[in-house]
Amino acid sequence: MKFDGSLERYKARLVAKGGDSTTFLIVYVDDIIIVGPTQASVNVVNDSVQAIFKLKILGDLKFFLGLELARSQHGISLCQRKYTLSLLEDTGYVNCKPANIPIEANLELRAAEGEPVPDPSAYRRLVGRLMYLTISRPDITFAVVKLAQYMSDPRMPLLNDVHHVLC
């Protein structure tokens, strides 16, 4: 069967074969993840999609979009160790002295204080990468959100605070 660009036609077919359990089909560009409560429900959706598209089954999910997934009898754990190490290597902070806290709780950040950052896009990319890291590191969320408020006109003291978060 050739795909005609409309999933509406196939939606009823997938739901009808799935039974009463909920199985999710997650698509990101050319990657598809099928998640369900049982292997049987995953297989039903997998077979239905296989009838429409040619798929390459890679097995159990280990990495996806910078997330590492590990299954155990206690459930599924998410980790961003590889992503974090990549971020620290790219910025040169792999061997830095660790900071106790990401940012001082009563630190007043000022928009117009200090020299402008030479490359504002680098500041924005770095804060964006830190935002993605908050998926598995909620302890840095407050600091990253505060620093993200100054993306339009970042200053050197703010960049120093970003570097402190990296530590």
pLDDT tens series, the chain, 167 aa? 455 555 555 554 555 444 567 888 888 888 888 888 888 888 888 888 888 888 888 888 888 888 898 888 888 888 999 999 999 999 999 999 998 888 887 777 777 888 999 999 999 999 999 999 999 999 999 999 999 999 999 999 999 999 999 99
Assess whether 95 and 156 both reside in one domain: yes
Do 21 and 94 lie in a common domain?
no
- The pLDDT score that the predictor gives to residue 16 is 44
Q: Indicate whether 93 and 140 sit together in one domain.
A: yes
Q: Which residues contact 45 (CB under 8 A, 6 or more apart)?
A: 14, 17, 18, 23, 25, 34, 36
Question: How many domains are contained in the chain?
Answer: 2
**How many degrees, rounded to 5, is the angle at CA 147 between CA 137 and CA 120?**
120
What is the distance between the alpha carbons of residues 28 and 124, in angstroms, rounded to a whole number? Answer: 24
Structural domain for 55, as ranges: 8-59
Q: Is residue 75 part of a domain?
A: no
- pTM recorded for the entire structure: 0.72
Return phi, psi of residue 88, to 5°. Answer: -70, -35
* Tokens (6 digits) for 92: 């040169």
Residue 76 belongs to some domain of the structure: no
Residue 81 CA to residue 132 CA, distance in Å, equals 12
Q: Is residue 73 part of a domain?
A: no
d(CA 81, CA 136): 9
Cα separation, 68 vs 81, in Å, equals 8
Q: Residue type at 74?
A: H
